[in-house]
A = this chain, B = another copy of it.
Amino acid sequence: MKKSSKAKKEGSPRVGILMGSDSDWEVMSAAARRLTAFEVPHEIKVTSAHRSPAATAAWATSARKRGLQAVIVGAGAAAHLAGVVAAHTALPVIGVPLDATSLRGLDALLATVQMPSGVPVATVAIGGAENAALLAVQILALSDAALARKLDRFKADLEAQVEAKNARLQAHRQGA
């Protein structure tokens, strides 16, 4: 309890980012960057559903107590990590299927999203680490008005960026 309330303080991680290998960091770092941009404290961890199952189970089981409110999990191939984490925690688990084999992430997508009744994984696009972070932010913003305002600004910025891209293309064509 005490730990949990402490964890909600500035700086204590509110989101965990898990991945099966440090080679996944190239893609998963986009989630960390997006959380940092929203000033959401987070922790990262390399752990494996198959190679370090006990460590994974322990981490997931204690995630809520340690103050985490959402877990983002990147995994490729027969991507079991998100499902295994979801088996050990009632926190929302967000799965990022990674393009890590010759099947280009179709294997990871199906292994992440097709979870049986009772244990959901919130799956985003293949390689969609940034969207996983945004989903976590949307979840946290439900009880964090400051974050909700940032999210509204982010959505407005998205719209402005489209208009900017449009302007750039029009300019490019005029010049051509």
Contact A125 B77 (CB under 8 A): yes
**Chain B positions within 8 Å of A51 at CB level:** 87, 116, 118-119, 158-159, 161-162
Nearest B residue to A152 via CB reads B90
Interface size on A (CB < 8 Å)?
88
Q: Which of B44, B99, B122, B173 contacts A135 (CB 8 A)?
A: B122
Contact A123 B123 (CB under 8 A): yes
Q: A112-123, CB under 8 A of B: which get 1 and which 0?
A: 111111111111
Q: How many subunits of this chain does the assembly comprise?
A: 8
In A106-159, the 8 Å CB interface with B consists of: 106-107, 109-128, 130-132, 134-135, 138-143, 148, 151-152, 154-155, 158-159
CA distance A69 to B142 in the complex (A): 7
Q: Which of B106, B134, B140 contacts A118 (CB 8 A)?
A: B134
Q: Is A74 an interface residue (CB 8 A)?
A: no
Contact A118 B158 (CB under 8 A): yes
**Chain B positions within 8 Å of A25 at CB level:** 169, 172
Nearest B residue to A168 via CB reads B22
**Chain B positions within 8 Å of A79 at CB level:** 111
Q: Is A105 an interface residue (CB 8 A)?
A: yes
Nearest B residue to A25 via CB reads B169
Nearest B residue to A23 via CB reads B165
Contact A124 B131 (CB under 8 A): no
A–B Cβ pairs within 8 angstroms, 9 of them: A22-B168, A48-B116, A52-B159, A77-B125, A78-B111, A90-B155, A102-B127, A107-B111, A139-B142
